[in-house]
Amino acid sequence: MSSHASPVHHSEAPKGWIRHYIFSLDHKIIGTQYILLGLSAVTIGVILSVIMRIHLAWPNVHIWGFANGVVSPEDYLRVITMHGTLMVFFVLTTVPQSGFGNYFLPIQIGAPDMAFPTLNMLSFWLTFVSMLVLLSSAFVPGGSPISGWTAYAPLSAVGEIAGPGQGLGQTLWAVSIALFCGASLMSAINFLGTTIDLRAKGLSLMRMPLTVWGWFITASLALLAFGVLLAACILLLLDRLAMTSFFIPGGEMVSGVLLKHAGGSPLLWQHLFWFFGHPEVYIAILPAMGIISHVLSTFSRKPVFGYKAMVYSLSAIGFLSFMVWGHHMFISGMNPYSALTFSILTLVIGVPSAIKTFNWLGTLWGARIHFTAAMLFAIGFVSLFVTGGLSGIFLAQPALDLYLHDTYYVIGHFHLIMGVAAIFAMFAATYYWFPKMFGHMMNETLGKIHFWMTFVGVYCIFMPMHYLGYAGDPRRYALTDSVHYLARLQPVYVFISIAAFVTAAAQLFFYFNFFWNIKHGKKAERNPWRATTLEWQVSTPVPHDNFAGHYPTVYRGPYEYSVPGAAEDFTPQDVAPEQVAKA
Amino acid sequence: MPHTSTTEELEIIEAGGGGKPPSFPGRDDDGSPSGRSGIPQRVYVTGIAIGMGAILMFFMAFASAFIVRKGVGSDWQAFPMPRILWLNTLILLASSVTIVRARHFFARGDRESFRHWWTVTTILGFLFLAGQLIAWRQMVISGFYLATNASGSFFYVLTAAHGLHLLGGIVALLYVGRGKLRRLTFATATEITSVYWHFMDGLWVFLFLLLLLGR
């Protein structure tokens, strides 16, 4: 291992508890903070989905926490809004990128820390404040907003006459999202600056682990997308608070009141929102793709099949993500020629996605696979990505979308590909990196039980939703038992709910496995998976500046597993060619 | 001149920088000056370039909203362009020239002239902001408040957003002008401040033309 004996970067690790664990500048602490924030958000989000499933399957069951135990239609919409907002922003956007990315990006590229540590700390605390603002909406008069995570204008813009929660609750929502945008932009600058300028000697772009590529492209998307959402939130807040008319049309009657606004365009909100919203889908899934490639290669003991094709397809997906936002708006009355354009561009995304899928399968092909919990979740991701992706091709057809839009088909589609697939990547990442983060191993048996229950569970939850969608079941309806053709679907609701409870319960295995083993797990070796990338070559726990002053030089690509002629079946990136032991 | 390990004072660079500070051995460590932190100085240049990309997208969102809103709304009323904006634009263009002068003298090691032109730039920045406030008064006098018509709403939103970003530039000018820095070298600090300042200038010219031709 080559080493440069140079002094530690900024400073010694801070001594005080608050500087060390709360207002830390260390990317590893900040990454852990993001992961814990995401874990709190996902816990609340899952509790909310359990409430939804109880209410949908057994509408008359009383639920604690609601007035008289009855979930009113407004309450149901509140629950949906908070579930969506928490999951999309504070789990899917936060954990794979800001959580694991913060922790492992600097180590994987051989850097002492992120490029701008103070900015990094600010990003985290702004995200934290943003989540508090969002959650506080549950405790103000009117409660949380009822407009869903997309907050479509004009009902999100006109204030409390649009319903309970559309007053102060919706304002808090918009403020929360605006803060979140600011935090994400700062974080994106940090990720990009770090990757561009702080790579170790010898770490050329085409030697970067695919995780780093995933985080890099995601940060580029976040950089270009969140500014647009921030602008949209500012205009929304002005409509709400300053009587402007950006999104509210003239002559609008809401709850019997004629509004004084004039000339605004509700579609303008949809365009701005989805110009952010579609890249946002990839902000959730691209880091996941990087993590999955990484884990698949490690446990297949084979190089990633088609490394360059993986990089180019990641970039292509990122590029195309800015040109397809209109496919969320096929029923908005857009010109059919525009719809055709958006539809074709959307279908084009299938090409790089298929390249990735086949390359993952190519990586697995003929391998002596180590079926660890991390590997199972990685393979599960590929399965979910295919299932969820195929239904996307259906939805990309404007003619089919007219029927399927806003039905449970869409819910099934995006939960499989965006929600659950990204969550599977987070689980894979947790099982994979836990030994490096906490110095102990997670329990593999519990991990496998967790995997199988979750894997079967999510398919039982979301596959029947496609069927509900074909049957014309609209999303966001609090009660369906009084509608004749929907009432007959009630047994499917009950089945989905039971599957959801079992899946939610299976997560208890994960919680136990995670928190118990932070202290009590089997002691982890430095490199328990015999992996090649830099994070596994440093000691555990990772030193404050990551390399204890001995910054590595990189000599090879990231996935040199089972290289012919080498004694070991893995060759770490920082081993000089002359030091590789011959078989 | 004694100096601490965390603060660089303007005088030091004139003395030739002293010993090379400890540096993180990056990929292409070309011996470019590192700050006290050991993080190579080029990350700050990269960071500001990336940040400008985000700011550009933020303003493009407003600009496209402006164009769309004008196109679909039947209620659009053109506001009279506040006359002082022409003067403000000239002031901001002039400040881009003065900051170039300042950097020119910085590169030659002429500290006095550097400070002089740097201060002139800062004052021009404040003058521009004051002029923008007068422009708001002129809008009010012609009857356009924030919510009067969408055209005026965009005027206030665009000028306010630009003004806040420019204020950030003024804070940077003042911070660098104060003469004490952490982490950054003076060469880097003056470079990124001036790059950002030119960007704010160019952005304003774009917004000015958008408002002038699009209102």
Query: In A120-186, at which residue ranges do the beta strands (DSSP E only) sit?
Result: none
Domain residue ranges in chain A: 25-249+261-579
Type of residue found at B134: I
For tokens 């004139």, the residue is: B14
Q: Are B63 and A227 in contact (CB under 8 A)?
A: no
Give the whole-angstrom CA distance, residue B87 versus residue B93.
Answer: 10
pLDDT at B10: 55
Give the whole-angstrom CA distance, residue A111 versus residue A4.
Answer: 13
Strand partners, A188: none
DSSP state of A137: G
Which of B51, B57, B75 shows the shortest C-beta gap to A224? B57
Give the whole-angstrom CA distance, residue A48 versus residue A81.
Answer: 10
Give the whole-angstrom CA distance, residue B131 versus residue A469.
Answer: 58
- Longest C-alpha distance within chain B, in Å? 68
For tokens 């919409």, the residue is: A77
pLDDT at B8: 55
Contact B46/A at CB under 8 A = yes
Which of B22, B65, B75 shows the shortest C-beta gap to A235? B65
Question: Has residue A316 got a pLDDT over 70?
Answer: yes
- On chain B, the residues whose CB falls within 8 A of the CB of A199 are 26-27
For tokens 């969320």, the residue is: A328
- Residues B99, B101, B107, B108, Cα dihedral to 10°: -150
Sequential DSSP letters for B74-138: S---PPPPPTHHHHHHHHHHHHHHHHHHHHHHHHTT-HHHHHHHHHHHHHHHHHHHHHHHHHHHH
Contact B46 A112 (CB under 8 A): no
- Residue to test with chain B: of A197, A274, A555, A574, most B Cβ within 10 A: A197
Q: Are A190 and A138 in contact (CB under 8 A)?
A: no
pLDDT at B39: 76
Query: What part of A 86-125 touches B (C-beta under 8 Å)?
Result: 111-112, 115-116
Cα–Cα nearest to B29, from A553, A544, A209:
A553
pLDDT at B29: 41
Give the whole-angstrom CA distance, residue A283 versus residue A281.
Answer: 5
Distances from the Cα of A436 to the Cα of A27, A215, A529, B137, B194, angstroms: 14, 19, 10, 60, 43
Higher pLDDT, A3 or A387: A387
Q: Are A213 and A314 in contact (CB under 8 A)?
A: yes
Could you tell me which chain B residue has the CA closest to the CA of A114?
Answer: B39
Give the whole-angstrom CA distance, residue A144 versus residue A86.
Answer: 12
Give the whole-angstrom CA distance, residue A22 versus residue A121.
Answer: 9
pLDDT at B179: 81
- Within 8 A by CB and 6+ apart from A5, the residues are A549, A550
A446's tokens? 């519990």
The CB-based long-range contact list for A274-277 (8 Å cut-off, 24+ gap) reads: A274/A325, A274/A326, A274/A328, A274/A329, A275/A225, A275/A228, A275/A322, A275/A325, A275/B61, A276/A225, A276/A226, A276/A228, A276/A229, A276/A232, A277/A150, A277/A229, A277/A325, A277/A328
Residues A15-33 pLDDT 10s: 788 888 889 999 999 999 9
Residue A367 — very low, low, confident or very high, per pLDDT cuts 50/70/90? Answer: very high
Q: Are A554 and A573 in contact (CB under 8 A)?
A: yes
Structural domains of chain B ordered from first start = 38-214 (1.20.120.80)
Task: Name the pTM for this structure.
Answer: 0.93
Phi, psi of B57 (to 5 degrees): -65, -40
Classify domain A25-249+261-579 at the CATH superfamily level: Cytochrome c oxidase-like, subunit I domain (1.20.210.10)
Residues B137-151 pLDDT 10s: 999 999 999 999 999
Residues B55-80 pLDDT 10s: 999 999 999 999 999 998 889 999 99
**Bridging pattern class, strands A253-254 and B8-9:** unpaired
Contact A242 B69 (CB under 8 A): no
A546 SS3 class: coil
A545's tokens? 């500046």
Q: Are A581 and A568 in contact (CB under 8 A)?
A: yes
Average pLDDT, chain A: 94
Nearest-Cα distance to chain B for A454, in Å, is: 38
Give the whole-angstrom CA distance, residue B150 versus residue B156.
Answer: 10
pLDDT at A8: 38
Averaged pLDDT for residues A131-143: 96
Residue B18 — very low, low, confident or very high, per pLDDT cuts 50/70/90? Answer: very low
Determine how many CB atoms are found less than 10 A away from the CB of residue B97. 14
Give the whole-angstrom CA distance, residue A238 versus residue B141.
Answer: 22
Give the whole-angstrom CA distance, residue B107 versus residue B199.
Answer: 21
Give the whole-angstrom CA distance, residue B155 versus residue A377.
Answer: 52
Residue A550 — very low, low, confident or very high, per pLDDT cuts 50/70/90? Answer: confident
Q: Are A93 and A280 in contact (CB under 8 A)?
A: yes
Contact B150/A at CB under 8 A = yes
Core vs surface per residue A137-174: b (16+ CB within 10 A) or e: beeeebbbbbbbbbbebbbbbbbbebbbbbbbbbbbbb
Q: Are A220 and A188 in contact (CB under 8 A)?
A: yes
Residues A239-292 pLDDT 10s: 999 999 999 999 889 999 999 898 999 999 999 999 999 999 999 999 999 999
Averaged pLDDT for residues A454-459: 98
Averaged pLDDT for residues A235-241: 97
Give the whole-angstrom CA distance, residue A282 versus residue A316.
Answer: 11
Residues A506-531 pLDDT 10s: 999 999 999 999 999 999 999 999 99
Sign of CA dihedral A350, A351, A352, A357: positive
- On chain B, the residues whose CB falls within 8 A of the CB of A234 are 157, 161
Give the whole-angstrom CA distance, residue B43 versus residue B162.
Answer: 25
Determine how many CB atoms are found less than 10 A away from the CB of residue A48. 19
Cα–Cα nearest to A513, from A467, A451, A575, A569:
A451
Residues A39-75 pLDDT 10s: 999 999 999 999 999 999 999 899 988 988 899 999 9
- On chain B, the residues whose CB falls within 8 A of the CB of A548 are none
Which of A116, A201, A551 shows the shortest C-beta gap to B47? A116
Higher pLDDT, A458 or A487: A458
Query: What part of A 276-335 touches B (C-beta under 8 Å)?
Result: none
H/E stretch holding A578 reads none
Question: Has residue A534 got a pLDDT over 80?
Answer: yes
pLDDT at A514: 97
Averaged pLDDT for residues B187-192: 94
Averaged pLDDT for residues A149-161: 94
